[in-house]
Structure 1
Amino acid sequence: MNIFFQDWSYNRGNLRSQSVLLLFRIAHCFHRLPPTSRWIGYPYFLLYELLVVWILGIELSYKATIGPGLRLFHGVATVIHESVVIGKNCTLRHSTTIGMRHETEAVPTLGDHVDIGCQSVIIGPIHIGNAVVIGAGSVVLHDIPDHSVVAGNPARIL
């Protein structure tokens, strides 16, 4: 239950983000059930897709692994691939894309305390270290070490 409260408190004052993350956490719990029991969650998965993806326009896959304390500013036009791993206490802003470049490629892994500016793109089999700040509009295609600030297209360490 602690993960629910952390998300809720990190998004204090933003009822939409709190609601999206609550719906995400519940769907993720259903997804983690053994395959023989997962059918219980199918109606909920449909509800999640309808509310979060279709109505709110936030493609946050319930299959993604996301640590506690995710801050979601606005969220509109955000796309998070189902295989992405995001560490704890990270911040995502609107129009952020985290995924793959090609169908056969792996997806990014983000460390803890990563702050991502709006309209950023993080794609490919890369690792973003802990305590990294990614500037707005950045296109990240390569690994980023811990405690870095990056910006630009392509993103460079500042």
Structure 2
Amino acid sequence: MTTAQSPRERFRTVWAADRKANAAYPKSRFVLRWFRSAQRWRAGSGPLSRLLFLAVGGSYKLVTEGFMGIELPVSTEVGPGLRLRHGVGIVVNPASRIGAGVMLRQGVTLGNRKLSDDCPVIEDGVEFGVGAVVIGAVTVGTNARIGPNAVVFRDVPAGAVVMSPASDIRA
């Protein structure tokens, strides 16, 4: 019989994985520590948790969205070991779900298509190239690779590679 982790235990577990995954990227570690802290206080109960969430979550949103160009909402379900590379221009719809060990590079967009909640499900180990866009209620399978500037609007099987439309070179 397993017991559910408390918000504090979950924070420690996912933060350790994020820290390890971003060992050489101090900006990414900074953003993800703040993100996980805001998630921790959002998951807590009681007036202290609510107050701390307002302070931590509000400052996180103001700085990361307003100044850093990283739109990764605290309400987004994100697995441990998220890797952020360069971070600028990342846009994630709050209804998107991101698995463990996923890499997001600059300019990546995970968004809805028609309804506010028809968003992508990104499974574990997926890597996104610069400027990749995934739109709509699609699933990107485990260990798939989405190339730079690729636009995805259909399901991607596990282990597949999606290349950008301009990657075909003809002489």
TM-based fold match above 0.5: yes
Show structure 1 runs of 4+ deviating over 3 A. 34-38
- What is the CA distance between 1:57 and its match in structure 2? 1.0
Greater Rg by CA: 2
Shift of 1:2: 2.2
Q: How much has 1:24 moved relative to structure 2?
A: 0.6
**Pairwise CA distance, 1:28:** 1.2
Deviations 1:23-58 (A, max 9, x none): 111111122234876532112221111221111110
Give the whole-Å Cα distance in 1 for the aligned partners of 2:42 and 2:145. Answer: 30
Identity, in percent, stands at 31
User: Which residue, 140, 148, 161 being the options, matches 1:149?
Assistant: 161
Aligned match of 1:9: 20
Q: What TM-score results when the alignment is normalised by the length of structure 1?
A: 0.91
C-alpha distance in 1 between matches for 2:64 and 2:84? 13
Look up the equivalent residue of 1:149 and give its one-letter code: V
Partner Cα separation in structure 2 for residue 98 and residue 148 of structure 1: 18
Gaps of 5+ in 2: 1-11, 167-171
In structure 2, the partner of 1:85 is 97
1:54 and 2:66 are equivalent in the alignment: yes
What is the TM-score of this pair, normalised by structure 2?
Answer: 0.84
Q: How many residues are treated as equivalent by the alignment?
A: 154
Relative to structure 1, the CA distance from residue 49 to residue 152 in structure 2 (aligned partners, 3 Å threshold; closer, same or farther) is same
**Larger helix proportion of the pair:** 2
Let me know the Cα RMSD of the aligned residues: 1.8
Gaps of 5+ in 1: none
Q: Give the letter for the 1:11 counterpart.
A: N
- Report 1:7-156 matches (<5 A): 7-34=18-45, 39-40=50-51, 41-153=53-165
In the aligned structure 2, how far is the partner of 1:106 from the partner of 1:34? 29
**Alpha-carbon deviation of 1:109?**
0.3
What CA distance in whole angstroms lies between the structure 1 residues aligned with 2:20 and 2:50?
31
1:134-154 alpha-carbon deviations (Å, 9 max, x no partner) = 000000000011110111249
